[in-house]
Copies of this chain bind each other. A is one copy, B any other.
Amino acid sequence: MLKDDIVAVPHECVDCPIRHRAVCARCEPDELAELEEFKYYRSFEAGQTVVWSGDRMDFVGTVVSGIASLTQTMEDGRTQMVGLLLPSDFVGRPGREGAAYDVVATTDLTMCCFRKKPFETMMETTPHIAQRLLEMTLDELDAAREWMLVLGRKTAREKIASLLSIVARRDATLRKVTMDGPLVFDLPLTREAMADYLGLTLETVSRQISALKRDGIIHLEGKRHVTVPDISVLMEEAGDDSDGGMLV
């Protein structure tokens, strides 16, 4: 739970795997050099909490590898995941003192962090960063709103299908695989994490996954390894028109 927290991973921005999608995507070489002045890497093990809601946050950063989740928790323990952070996603809010949500490493995780003060300063002088951050924030806002439809109006089966279809398509895009044939991927979430994302209980998640399996919409090997024979069928189950409202 609390082993190698801060780790120095030797990385040059130039050969960063997410260089072209992250907040630094539009930066020129000299701007990257400036960023590198106050950047550092941190690694977390699956399950570790990166930041607690309400805590002071003296950095912002980007997910380099692995998956993290943003969650809110009520006093009585009910929790809702409000964001799934995949590689290239940005964490933290410039101009705010404390963290608004818990950030938890869902898998092993590496983040590229920037000390907040210098980052904020640089944002003011470097439009490339602010521009890219605005673009990313607008995308996240769209994703959040798309998810509001899922949470507010979809049935349990549609919710599961929505989640699977997002993960499947994300994965396909990342690996640059066409979506004509069957899609194969590993679920990065436990049943409980899925439940927290979908506003369900873990039992309902389990039942609905079994149902989709029974109906041949998906195949399972073990608990996590999923095959989707036909993504358009899955998207039909999700209640999306098949051209696909893309999420997250």
One of B127, B134, B135, B145 near A82 (C-beta < 8 A): B145
Residue of B whose beta carbon sits closest to that of A241: B75
Comparing A146-154, A206-214, A217-225, the segment that makes contact with chain B is A146-154
Interface positions of A from 108 to 163, Cβ below 8 Å from B: 124, 127, 130-131, 133-135, 137-138, 140-142, 144-149, 151-153
Q: Which residues of B contact A149 (CB under 8 A)?
A: 72, 74, 80, 82
Q: How large is the interface on A (under 10, 10 to 19, 20 to 34, 35 or more residues)?
A: 35 or more
Comparing A33-41, A93-101, A181-189, the segment that makes contact with chain B is A93-101
Q: Could you write out 16 A-B pairs with CB less than 8 Å apart?
A: A70-B145, A72-B145, A79-B153, A80-B153, A83-B145, A100-B142, A101-B145, A127-B130, A130-B134, A133-B134, A134-B134, A137-B138, A141-B141, A144-B145, A148-B151, A152-B198
